[in-house]
Structure 1
Amino acid sequence: MSAGSVSASLIRCLIPAARRITARTPVGTKSRARGGTRQMATAGKLVSGREGRPTVVCVEGNIASGKTTCLEYFSRISDIEVLPEPISNWRNVRGHNPLALMYQDPERWAITLQTYVQLTMLKQHLSASLAPVRMMERSIFSAKHIFVENLFRSGKMPEVDHAVLSEWFDWITANISLPVDLIVYLQTSPETCHERLKRRCREEEKVIPLEYLQSIHQLYEDWLLRQTLAPLLVIPADHDLQGMLRQYEEHREQILTPRHPS
């Protein structure tokens, strides 16, 4: 699916709806980044309408940084909803594998995959939940700020494709409320990620070079230092499995009950 498949009539329906909600939506939702606090206005945002939304924790990190292990650890805790990246969807879109196509020929297929990633991550953010805590593997924000940006900066995504994806992302984040209460960053060296990649042997990842992981690592470092989306918890993640499990247990309360600014 691509941005072009959404009809003009749908856009015309969405915009008036956003305006109607603007007239009755209060301002004042707060968000805090490392080193400061700012007010995030919710006016003008399309919202789900559910009361008592769950605490949203996004687990971020490079490829093979240990995100799956982190989610598996917390999935054993009751009253936690865990949402892994919808990789199976990216591997099979009506019989097509855009994830593999993108790795094989990013200049041709990056826009196809990343448009679909943006859609599927948006669905993850907006899906209904009865659990008090939702833990997501990555987010629509890192899809744009890390992976789309890397494709563009490396010359593998044409400027027009980047512009189209950016327009979609900007409209989504300006008009749809996508709250995040905490970002957990599994800070892992590119070399460690590369070794883990070779051990887990996923078919699409066999072509990923160390240089790609280095680029993704630097983009994460740059984005998370300046983002104002949510509080940030950095967990060193070069440890072995037992070491990482100890880290998760040590930070368990901090992750499941993030503190909000007063």
Structure 2
Amino acid sequence: MSKVTSMTNAVRAVNKRPFRVSIEGNIGSGKSTCIKYFDKYHNVEKHAEPIQEWRNVSGHNLLGLLYSDMNEWSFAFQHYVHLSRLKIQTSPPSNPDITVKMFERSVQNSRHCFVENAKKQNFLQDSEYEVLAKWFDYTEKTLDISLDLIVYLRTTPQVVWERMMKRGRAEESEVPLDYLQQVHDSYENWLNSPDVGCEVLTIDADRSIDCVKDDLERYSYKILGGNHTN
């Protein structure tokens, strides 16, 4: 067991918090479908990505603004995403029977995937990047945002681009294939890093949803932290 994993387990034991599972993957990789698969487990609290919240921040559609001009809106969007993910990740469970907390993407994803990509593509000024990095560093030092497992729905950019075009979200209509490639590369860099901080379970999500569900069932014991209570 790694030092990071040992520390994570110790923190979770002391705080008696639920087992935290982050469902990660590119746009259109099937994260929402994956989370819905676990509806049958009553000990699992599930949180989809708060897209509706991002679409209406006191009347401002930050998601739409981001895709309309990433140079102009990446800083504001990533700042708000950090806040919304932080609330999901650290809020207490809805009832005492919850032993697993599952959410679509994580605070760590925002920092190590999307913020890094925005910096690499010059969507963020150096000063904006430093503000976001320091915001994350402070969060990590002062709050327990640790993850216990990442389920990575690994896809190829062409496949998810085709899926994205079929589902037809208005904000995504202008997203180019190049951007999905950038997100994919950022995921690969982050989740193959020795500093990822927890175990990563990789599932081939280029396949049909039925094949993915078969894997979710096969690995459900691991995904649920070794607890099958429902």
Under a length normalisation based on structure 2, what TM-score does the superposition of the two structures give? 0.90
SS in structure 2 at match of 1:207: coil
Task: Give structure 1 regions of 4+ aligned residues with deviation exceeding 4 angstroms.
Answer: 39-42, 47-51
Match of 1:112 among 33, 56, 76: 76
Task: Calculate the aligned-residue CA RMSD, in Å.
Answer: 2.0
Distance 1:49 1:95, change over 3 A: farther
Equivalent position amino acid for 1:208 in 2 = V
> Is the Cα–Cα contact under 8 Å of residues 12 and 18 in structure 2 kept in the other structure?
no
Aligned pair count reads 220
The offset of 1:257, in angstroms, is 2.1
> Is the Cα–Cα contact under 8 Å of residues 71 and 82 in structure 1 kept in the other structure?
yes
The corresponding residue for 2:110 is 143
Deviation per CA, 1:83-125: give whole Å up to 9, x if none. Answer: 1111111110011101110110111111111100001111011
Once residues 258 and 102 of structure 1 are traced to their aligned partners in structure 2, the CA distance between those partners, rounded to angstroms, is: 39
Equivalent position amino acid for 1:199 in 2 = K
Once residues 26 and 172 of structure 2 are traced to their aligned partners in structure 1, the CA distance between those partners, rounded to angstroms, is: 13
SS in structure 2 at match of 1:89: helix
The offset of 1:51, in angstroms, is 4.5
- Bigger drift between 193-202 and 236-245 goes to 236-245
SS in structure 2 at match of 1:180: coil
Q: What pairs up with 1:33-44 in 2 under 5 angstroms?
A: 37-39=2-4
Match of 1:200 among 164, 167, 174: 167
Identity of aligned residues (%): 39
Deviation per CA, 1:1-38: give whole Å up to 9, x if none. Answer: xxxxxxxxxxxxxxxxxxxxxxxxxxxxxxx6xxxx11
The corresponding residue for 2:153 is 186
Under a length normalisation based on structure 1, what TM-score does the superposition of the two structures give? 0.79
Once residues 164 and 105 of structure 1 are traced to their aligned partners in structure 2, the CA distance between those partners, rounded to angstroms, is: 20
Is it true that 1:242 corresponds to 2:206 in the alignment?
Answer: no
Is it true that 1:58 corresponds to 2:22 in the alignment?
Answer: yes
Unaligned runs of 5+ in 2: none
The offset of 1:253, in angstroms, is 1.4
Unaligned runs of 5+ in 1: 1-31
> Is the Cα–Cα contact under 8 Å of residues 183 and 231 in structure 1 kept in the other structure?
yes
Radius of gyration: which is bigger?
1
